[in-house]
């Protein structure tokens, strides 16, 4: 099972994004992360499993600012 | 003490607000948006829920538009200093508080003042329109005078701004929690809120709801994100919230919004205006009292009434009332341009501002004091 770490600009966007994904059937949570590739330091990410494309579409539609996406 | 100084801050807070603050100190005692541990995330989530509620309460487009500031004045400073730049022009009203005028003067931005008609709102809108110049970037005005209670036709001014492509900011200190505000319907780009007044929240935070990006941040510092970067992050609301926010008060503000919503914003407003009308009707018959406005009508006035008592100045009169156990405010109320406009700059006015917890009996007590002239003559 693939796990995706979607880094957002702020904790506010992370929680907003998590809520949207949960409402759309995702198992999602917010985690604090230190850095990913190209990250500029501490930040917040939404962690989900599978179907990243639909998730990104939902987040972008809601205006969530995404800094980077990593796969584990 | 009978407290009639609610335009400064509502003197009595609902028990649910007090309980929410106490609960916050116990249950949300971590720093939100900083650490990753469970309590910090729980606190961040609680703060986010307040942003959601605030956005819904004021008809904003999303929770990320809700910025917690130190107070309403801080929020106004953010708008005026963060948005306006050299060469811009701004229009304000003749009823502004120093919270608007002082930062505006400090920016050095060119400005005009549009007169507020006490009788005809369409005239007020025309007065704003007549001041528009090619470089007018923003209209910023109070929602209601903190001295004379006159409400400005915010929705109509918003319509004018949208039509002319001008940004619109509102100092909602005297109307938030008093009348329903829908930023999207009223075309408001920047709403500055004092939750400790008509919303019955504790003192200690303000709210700026910004539908537009504010390029310049007044302060910079830690946001809990992008910490490797030495420049301020770009994303709202954290971009504007450097340093630790006042979580207990923010949680209290959430309970306060629930209080206003559950009690009924229109019900509270009607109650307050009934008290104002009771006072106005009696003062109108008192030969010692000078009133400055027409009878305050629902939808046209906030629950604020100014007057003077002949033979004494407003501050001495207010102090006397304090001696008799009644809290009102005398002086200029930090709004000298409103007093200049109304011709009361020299002696100020006595301001009575009731709230949800005041009663007709309290107004009667105040009126009984007035009946005995020697109580107040110098």
Q: How confident is the model at residue B224 (pLDDT cuts 50, 70, 90)?
A: confident
Q: For B40-94, what is each residue's pLDDT tens digit?
A: 999 999 999 999 999 999 999 999 999 999 999 999 999 999 999 999 999 999 9
The 8 Å CB, 24+ separation contacts for A58-61 are: A58/A20, A58/A21, A58/A24, A59/A6, A59/A17, A59/A20, A59/A21
Q: Where are the domains of chain B?
A: 15-262, 264-375
- At A56 the pLDDT is 97
Chain B residues with a Cβ under 8 Å from any Cβ in chain A: 32-33, 35-36, 40-41, 44-45, 48, 51, 62-64, 223-229, 233-238
User: Which residues on chain A are in Cβ contact (under 8 Å) with B236?
Assistant: 10, 12
* pLDDT of B255 higher than 80: yes
For residues B200-221, average pLDDT: 96
Q: How confident is the model at residue B311 (pLDDT cuts 50, 70, 90)?
A: confident
Consecutive H or E run containing A21: helix A11-23
In CATH, what number does B264-375 get? Answer: 3.90.1150.10
- At B77 the pLDDT is 98
Q: Report how far apart, in Å, the C-alpha atoms of B177 and of each of B14, B45, B173, B197 are.
A: 14, 24, 9, 8
What is the spatial distance between Cα B255 and Cα B356, in angstroms, rounded to a whole number? 16
User: Which residues on chain B are in Cβ contact (under 8 Å) with A11?
Assistant: 32-33, 44, 48, 224-225, 238
For residues A36-65, average pLDDT: 87
Q: Report how far apart, in Å, the C-alpha atoms of B105 and of each of A70, B92, B100, B102 are.
A: 49, 12, 9, 5
- At B257 the pLDDT is 98
User: Which residues on chain B are in Cβ contact (under 8 Å) with A63?
Assistant: 62, 64
- At B15 the pLDDT is 98
Mean pLDDT of chain A: 89
In CATH, what number does A3-71 get? Answer: 3.30.70.1940
Name the residue facing B41 among A30, A33, A43 (closest C-beta).
Answer: A30
User: Which residues on chain A are in Cβ contact (under 8 Å) with B231?
Assistant: none
Radius of gyration of chain A measured on its C-alpha atoms: 11
Strand order of the β-sheet with A29-33 is A29-33, A43-49, A3-8, A66-71
- At B356 the pLDDT is 97
Query: How many other C-beta atoms can be found within 10 angstroms of the C-beta atom of residue B182?
Result: 13
- At B127 the pLDDT is 98
Q: What is the DSSP string of B199-252?
A: T-PPSS-EEEEESS--SS-S-----SSSTT-SSPP--TTGGG--S---HHHHHH
Q: Where are the domains of chain A?
A: 3-71
In CATH, what number does B15-262 get? Answer: 3.40.640.10
Q: For B318-345, what is each residue's pLDDT tens digit?
A: 999 999 999 999 999 999 999 999 999 9
Q: How close A53 comes to chain B (CA, Å)?
A: 23
Q: How confident is the model at residue B375 (pLDDT cuts 50, 70, 90)?
A: low
- At A36 the pLDDT is 54
- At B54 the pLDDT is 98
- At B377 the pLDDT is 65
For residue A62, what is the nearest residue in chain B, using CA coordinates?
B62
User: Which residues on chain A are in Cβ contact (under 8 Å) with B40?
Assistant: 32
What is the spatial distance between Cα A67 and Cα B192, in angstroms, rounded to a whole number? 30
- Confirm if A59 and A20 have CB atoms less than 8 A apart: yes
Tokens 């770490």, residue located: A5
- At B373 the pLDDT is 66
Chain A residues with a Cβ under 8 Å from any Cβ in chain B: 9-13, 15-16, 30-33, 35, 39-44, 63, 65
Q: Please name every residue paired with B353 in a beta bridge, in sequence order, or none if there are none.
A: B5
For residue A11, what is the nearest residue in chain B, using CA coordinates?
B33
Task: Please judge whether A15 and B45 are an interchain contact, meaning their C-beta atoms are less than 8 angstroms apart.
Answer: yes
- At B261 the pLDDT is 98
For residues B205-234, average pLDDT: 92
Optimal mutation site among A7, A10, A28, A61, interface B, most CBs of chain B within 10 A: A10
Percent of chain A with pLDDT over 90: 65
For residues B30-42, average pLDDT: 88
* CA-wise closest residue to B168 among B265, B93, B238, B63: B93
How many degrees, rounded to 5, is the angle at CA B296 between CA B330 and CA B167? Answer: 85
End-to-end CA, chain B: 23
* CA-wise closest residue to B139 among B96, B181, B202, B195: B96
What is the spatial distance between Cα B324 and Cα B115, in angstroms, rounded to a whole number? 37
Q: How confident is the model at residue A57 (pLDDT cuts 50, 70, 90)?
A: very high
- At B33 the pLDDT is 83
- At B378 the pLDDT is 57
Mean pLDDT of chain B: 96
Higher per-residue confidence, B288 vs B56: B56
Q: Report how far apart, in Å, the C-alpha atoms of B69 and of each of A38, B205, B207, B255 are.
A: 31, 6, 6, 18
Percent of chain B with pLDDT over 70: 99
Query: How many other C-beta atoms can be found within 10 angstroms of the C-beta atom of residue B162?
Result: 13
Task: Please judge whether A9 and B233 are an interchain contact, meaning their C-beta atoms are less than 8 angstroms apart.
Answer: yes
Cα B25 off chain centre by: 26
Name the residue facing A63 among B36, B62, B226 (closest C-beta).
Answer: B62
- At A42 the pLDDT is 80
Q: How confident is the model at residue B227 (pLDDT cuts 50, 70, 90)?
A: confident
- Confirm if B214 and B79 have CB atoms less than 8 A apart: yes
DSSP SS3 for A58: helix
């Amino acid at each position: 099972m693939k796990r995706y770490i979607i880094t957002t600009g702020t904790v506010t966007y992370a929680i907003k994004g998590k809520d949207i994904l949960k409402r759309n059937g995702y198992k999602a949570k917010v985690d604090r992360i230190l850095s990913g590739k190209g990250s500029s330091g501490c930040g917040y990410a939404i962690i989900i499993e599978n179907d990243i494309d639909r998730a990104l579409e939902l987040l972008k539609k809601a205006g969530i600012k995404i800094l980077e996406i990593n796969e584990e | 003490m009978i407290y009639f100084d609610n335009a400064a801050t509502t003197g009595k807070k609902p028990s649910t607000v007090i309980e929410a603050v106490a609960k916050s100190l116990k249950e949300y005692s971590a720093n939100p948006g900083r650490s990753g541990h469970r309590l910090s995330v729980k606190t961040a989530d609680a703060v986010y829920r307040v942003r959601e509620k605030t956005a819904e309460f004021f008809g904003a487009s999303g929770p990320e538009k809700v910025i917690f500031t130190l107070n309403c004045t801080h929020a106004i400073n953010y708008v005026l200093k963060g948005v306006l730049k050299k060469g811009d022009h701004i229009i304000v009203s003749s009823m502004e508080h120093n919270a608007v005028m002082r930062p505006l003067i400090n920016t050095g931005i060119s400005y005009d003042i549009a007169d507020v008609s006490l009788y005809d709102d369409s005239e007020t809108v025309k007065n704003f329109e007549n001041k528009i110049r090619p470089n007018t970037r923003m209209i910023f005005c109070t929602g209601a005078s903190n001295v004379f209670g006159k409400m400005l036709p915010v929705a109509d001014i918003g319509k004018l701004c949208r039509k002319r492509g001008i940004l619109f900011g509102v100092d909602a200190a005297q109307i938030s929690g008093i009348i329903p505000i829908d930023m999207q319907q009223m075309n408001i780009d920047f709403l500055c809120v004092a939750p400790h007044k008509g919303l019955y929240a504790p003192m200690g935070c303000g709210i700026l709801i910004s539908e537009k990006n504010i390029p310049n941040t007044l302060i910079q510092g830690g946001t809990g994100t992008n910490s490797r970067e030495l420049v301020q992050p770009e994303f709202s609301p954290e971009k504007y919230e450097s340093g630790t926010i006042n979580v207990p008060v923010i949680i209290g503000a959430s309970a306060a919004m629930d209080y206003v919503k559950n009690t009924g914003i229109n019900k509270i407003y009607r109650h307050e205006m009934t008290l104002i009308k009771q006072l106005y009707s009696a003062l109108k018959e008192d030969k010692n009292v000078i009133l400055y406005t027409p009878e305050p009508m629902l939808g046209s006035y906030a629950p604020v009434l100014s007057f003077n008592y002949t033979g004494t100045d407003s501050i001495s009169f207010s102090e006397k009332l304090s001696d008799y156990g009644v809290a009102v405010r005398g002086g200029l109320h930090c709004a000298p341009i409103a007093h200049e406009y109304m011709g009361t700059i020299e002696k100020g006015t006595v301001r009575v501002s009731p709230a949800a917890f005041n009663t007709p009996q309290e107004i009667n007590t105040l009126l009984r004091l007035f009946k005995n002239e020697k109580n107040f003559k110098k």
